[in-house]
Amino acid sequence: MFKAVLLATAIVLAPYSLANGDYLFKISGSNTLGAHLAPLCAAEYLKTKGFKQVNINNTPVENEKVVMGYNPAGQQQGIFIAAHGSSTGFKALQTASADLAMSSRPIKAKELLDLAALGDLRAAQAEHTVAIDGLAILVNPNNPIAKLSVQQVADIFSGVISNWQELGGANLAISLYARDEQSGTWDTFKNLVLGKQHKLATSALRFESNDELSDQVANDPGAIGFTGLASVRNSKLVAISDKNTLALLPQRLTVATEDYPLSRRLYFYQPQNSLKSKDLNSKVWVQGYVDFCLAEAGQNLVEQVGFITQNIIAVQQPQYQNAPSSYMQLADKALRLSINFRFNNGSSKLDNKALKDIERVSQFLSKPEYTGRNVYLVGFSDSHKKKKHDLLIAHFRALAVQAKLIKQQIAISKSLSLGSFMPVASADSQAAKLKNSRVEIWVEKSPSGQQLTHISIPNALP
């Protein structure tokens, strides 16, 4: 399902060459973004600016590319992309050797401090969620194991579990494949899976490239590894649960809403101040590129590459067992939109992605087939000692979303507060608490009984 599919639009991998040309701007950081998505978006963006003969070109350095073509004046210009890992992107911003950083994890506090001269990189105008990814846990296609818990994955990669027989599989030694230390994918895995209790086994083989890692897993009967969704290739996906939550495969709905336990955001970090005197023109190009990537056309490319687009769809969600009757009734009469609104840590203020999603919801609901239909919100909270407290927090979170939507001329027919029902992550970490505190949005089905175009997705394994 998640195989990279590049556009058939005369984008050709060619030897590196930029004779008499100039870089419009430079991008550095995550291999997850830089391997396919960032170059493809750059090529399509240049075409929207009137560039001709646009190619994605390899350089002599592995994981570095130049996307170049001829501008309307006939000059050859390009965008340079270096994809050596998320941390390298922030370092490149600090040394003024890049104008935009790619990252497959949020910026760290120390990086934020080191880059303070560039402005607040956590501000809405600087931190952009360009795609949603699910950390894919991969095994060999012939491995019978279909689902694992986050805790089991941690035990496997730390060496506590070393044979598939211990998990009900074949009597076969487990071989470990992991991303390298510079990788944001590794950083995400370390935080979401290993935590502070586990360390990666020294026997693990390390890779700079997601694609190479996946190919090795597909060829090794005892293998297990992790990559971004765009690099599943010929390996087999495993469904993941988090303690008492459902085991979910990384599907369109579960990843887009970030309900999948190992979902993550992929970021662009765009400096608001420049360390270089000649960067005014570069800044304009960077802004145009970021805007293109976040808009509908760019998000279509996100989907084609193999990540999860932020373009919204309406989904017929299967009903959950033991759900409150109000939620069951909602699932009968409405379609769930493929986003969840989430909030800043310890706050009822929407996070940067949610602020952009407000705009996306407004555009989606303005489509003729949805105009005039009832819209519903469902608020959830993390678990506290008192159920009333949970319900109240969830209620206020739904109200915060409702206030933003009203400013977009979107009326909310009803808001439900379900408190801490149906957690999507265990409450052992701050990140998990942020995932559980969320607001869903639903839109009424066609009252005439006519079927709307939507996708029905089996999003859980029992």
The predicted structure's pLDDT at residue 456: 35
Q: What is the mean pLDDT of residues 265-294?
A: 87
The verdict on residue 367 lying in a domain is yes
Q: Tell me the residue type at 268.
A: F
Q: What is the pLDDT of residue 246?
A: 80
Asked, for residue 438, whether it belongs to a domain, the answer is yes
On whether residue 91 sits in a domain, the answer given is: yes
Q: What is the mean pLDDT of residues 398-421?
A: 94
Average pLDDT over the chain, rounded to whole? 88
Number of domains in the chain: 3
Question: Quick one: 145 and 103 in the same domain?
Answer: no
Tens-digit pLDDT profile for residues 298-319: 999 999 888 899 999 998 887 6
Question: Do residues 47 and 86 share a domain?
Answer: yes
Residue 117 and residue 210 in one domain:
no
- Same domain, yes or no, for 69 and 32? yes
> Taking the mean position of all CA atoms in its chain, how far away is CA 385?
32
Residues 298 and 319 in one domain: no
Say yes or no to pLDDT of 332 above 50. yes
3 part of a folded domain: no
Judgement on whether residues 298 and 408 belong to the same structural domain of the protein: no
From 4-13, 163-172, 364-373, 420-429, the region with the lowest mean pLDDT = 4-13
Residue 335 resides in a domain: yes
What is residue 427's predicted lDDT score, i.e. its pLDDT? 61
My answer on whether 62 and 32 are in the same domain is yes
pLDDT at 3 over 70: no
320 plus 443 within the same structural domain: yes
The Cα–Cα gap between 38 and 24 comes to 15
What is the arithmetic mean of pLDDT over 235-241? 95
Beta strands 136-139 and 236-237, pairing class? antiparallel
Across residues 260-279, what is the average pLDDT? 83
462 within some domain: no
The reported pLDDT for the residue numbered 187 is 84
154 with 245, same domain?
Answer: yes
**Per-residue confidence band for 430, with pLDDT thresholds at 50, 70 and 90:** low
Which whole number is the average pLDDT over 157-163?
Answer: 98
The pLDDT value recorded for residue 250 is: 85
pLDDT tens digits, residue range 242-252?
877 888 888 88
How many C-beta neighbours within 10 Å does residue 345 have?
Answer: 11
The pLDDT assigned to 380 comes to: 93
Q: What is the pLDDT of residue 317?
A: 83
* Segment 30-87, tens digit of pLDDT: 998 999 999 999 999 999 999 999 999 999 999 999 999 999 999 999 999 999 999 9
Q: Does residue 260 lie within any of the structural domains? A: no
Predicted pLDDT at 417: 94
Specify burial of residue 117 (Cβ count, 10 A radius: 0-12, 13-18, 19+). exposed
Q: In what order do the strands lie in the sheet with 334-342?
A: 414-417, 375-380, 438-444, 334-342, 314-316, 455-456
Token pair 């089991």 in the structure block, residue: 152
359 in the same domain as 428: yes
**Domain membership of residue 408 as a residue range:** 314-456
In a domain, 436, yes or no: yes
Give dist(CA 423, CA 432) in Å, integer: 9
161 and 123, same domain (yes or no): no
Task: Specify the range with the lowest mean pLDDT, choosing from 16-20, 91-95, 193-197.
Answer: 16-20
pLDDT at 220: 98
Let me know whether 54 and 156 are in one domain.
no
Q: Residue 235 belongs to a domain with what CATH number?
A: 3.40.190.10
- CATH number where 401 lies: 3.30.1330.60
Neighbours of 197 (CB within 10 A): 9
The model's pTM is 0.82
